[in-house]
Amino acid sequence: MLVLARYGHRPGIAGWLFASFGIGAVLGNAISFRFLTRRLDGLTICSAFVFVQVAPLWLLWLPLPAVAISAVLVVSGLGNGLVNPSLHTISTLRIPEPMRPTVMTTVMTFWALVNPLGLFVAGPVLDALGTTPVLIGFAAVQSVTMSAAALAAARERGRSRLELSPA
């Protein structure tokens, strides 16, 4: 969408922007695996580093050069790679083992249905109003959902500390 609207329909830029997020995510995963998970528990990682993923997304709507958008996506991907391993591990392991196949299948089916719905909404908005409202909406949805995950992680971390502290 950005490439079509802002960067002259150049497919090389589209690939570069997709790769930027991916490079950041791979680096974030490596940092998470090698350093963070050895020093911090998963709940702390989820609650502390979500902002690294979400905050850069609020810059996407600005009329920046492609190289700046690439940098924004690298940083967001880095945050994604830092948070997602712990987030998905904790989410999966919190489901009772006998229910895990059913719950995980349901979750994946839900995402498979919701993603096209997002495109169904974004397409007409993009056509009528351009990239700015779509990108602001995307940043808003990510901010709300990832903030909810971070708050849940922080709440659970606080609850765990209360259970461990002497009475």
Tell me what the mean pLDDT of segment 116-123 comes to: 88
pTM here is 0.88
- State residue 4's pLDDT score: 75
The answer, yes or no, to whether residue 105 has pLDDT greater than 80, is yes
Q: Taking the C-alpha atoms of 58, 22, 95 and 110 in order, what is their torsion angle to the nearest 10 degrees?
A: 70
Mean pLDDT of 123-141: 93
**What's the rounded mean pLDDT across residues 4-23?**
90
Residues 129-137: contacts with CB under 8 Å, at least 24 apart: 130/5, 131/1, 131/2, 131/5, 131/6, 131/61, 132/61, 134/1, 135/2, 135/57, 135/60, 135/61, 136/58, 136/61
Weakest mean pLDDT among 65-74, 95-104, 125-134, 157-166: 157-166
| Residue position matching structure tokens 């690298």 | 74
pLDDT of residue 159: 84
Mean pLDDT, residues 107-126: 91
pLDDT band of residue 1 (cuts 50, 70, 90) is low
pLDDT > 90: percent of the chain: 78
Check pLDDT > 90 for residue 6: no
pLDDT digit string, tens, across residues 41-90: 999 999 999 999 999 999 999 999 999 999 999 999 999 999 999 999 99
Question: Could you list the residue range(s) of the whole structural domain that residue 95 is in?
Answer: 2-164
Look at the chain and report how many structural domains it folds into. 1
Average pLDDT, integer, range 112-126: 90
